[in-house]
Amino acid sequence: MLAYTYIEHGKFELREKPEPKITDARDAIVRVTLGSICTSDLHIKHGSVPRAVPGITVGHEMVGVVEEVGAEVTSVRPGDRVTVNVETFCGECFFCHHGYVNNCTDPNGGWALGCRIDGGQAEYVRVPYADQGLNRIPDTVSDEQALFVGDVLATGFWATRISEITEKDTILLIGAGPTGICTLLCSMLKNPKRIIVCEKSPERIQFVREHYPDVLITTPENCKEFVLQNSDHSGADVVLEVAGTEDSFRMAWDCARPNAIVTIVALYDKPLLFPLPEMYGKNLTFKTGGVDGCDCAEILSLIEEGKIDTTPLITHRCSLNEIEEAYRIFENKLDGVIKVAIVCQTESNK
């Protein structure tokens, strides 16, 4: 089968590999129908994920059809359409029991797919702990509607869940990339008083204006002033930082009102300064981390009910054979790209 592979620092390549096999009774093999590219894939390519293993198939956002299951798998059957979770988790350890599945103590726990074990920018993928890692897609939900459930949308849902948003709140969301927009969609479900999105790209500002007309928009240069003018208590009640730069981090706590919650969703590529003397007296609560992707069933129900729709994020479509070009477009943010849907079945396998 074809599999997009991490060769070495700076280099991914489409290679021919054997199809994956069941190696544990809790595994499933999934025939990948659609995959996508995530910014974390680029982090692997550029060496900022040291635990990524050269030779692995990349890709951790995908949907597909269950091809085969191990003897102990009970929640899915061959033929089921499923979303695949970015995280591998056992469902049994202390962290899993508390919903902190990102910290599952299994050796492959957390983000392993497409990083430490073979992922899904390929025709087939082996999913460990399939009872946890796969969720059945409702019949009325399409593959494209479900494509982001296991990763970016799970991240937005988790970030919103831990941010304790109420209907009286002014939310500041920094960064309207794919994860930012997913976080926006999930924040809207909490009916806050206002949502302010801060974004610098004119194309992305246009995207937000077009699709989410109720949202207020500002740019980094004007952000603080805009938030002061458009909030009730001298700053945002909740800040969600999804942009991931030094400046956006500073903006996040600077635009928060005293006693606000600041949730850091972004992954930074270098250490940041936490200027506690400057923050002193603001009494902020910071929440950080990697997604605990254990809400996928609930997210799928919300999609089924029409409450979340991420299909506008799919701006580009291509086949697995064209993945190199898809990476070029995604990495360089060309042509108004937000997300790419990659059809992973080549003709011979259909």
Considering only residues 135 to 154 of the shown chain, the ones binding Zn ion according to CB under 5 A are 151
Minimum Å gap between C-beta 3 and Zn ion is 18
Cα(47)–Cα(51) distance, integer angstroms: 9
Nearer to Zn ion, 62 or 223 (CB): 62
Considering only residues 274 to 293 of the shown chain, the ones binding Zn ion according to CB under 5 A are none
Here's the x/- map for Zn ion, 26-45, by CB under 5 A: it reads as ------------x-x-----
Span from 22-30, 97-105, 167-175, 253-261 in contact with Zn ion (CB under 5 A): 97-105
Count of residues interacting with Zn ion (CB under 5 A): 8
Here's the x/- map for Zn ion, 309-328, by CB under 5 A: it reads as --------------------
Nearer to Zn ion, 96 or 165 (CB): 96
Nearer to Zn ion, 36 or 231 (CB): 36
- Could you give phi then psi for residue 305, rounded to 5 degrees? -80, 0
- What is each CA distance from 194 to 30, 166, 188, 216, in whole angstroms? 41, 11, 9, 8
Among 29, 30, 34, 90, binds Zn ion (CB under 5 A): 90
Minimum Å gap between C-beta 162 and Zn ion is 18
Minimum Å gap between C-beta 96 and Zn ion is 3
Among 1, 30, 96, 264, binds Zn ion (CB under 5 A): 96
Can residue 62 be called a binding residue for Zn ion (CB under 5 A)? no
Nearer to Zn ion, 64 or 192 (CB): 64
To 5 degrees, how large is the angle CA 290–CA 318–CA 153?
25
- CA 217 distance to own-chain centroid: 22
Minimum Å gap between C-beta 129 and Zn ion is 8
Nearer to Zn ion, 215 or 329 (CB): 329
**Which positions lie near Zn ion, rule CB under 5 A?**
38, 40, 89-90, 93, 96, 104, 151
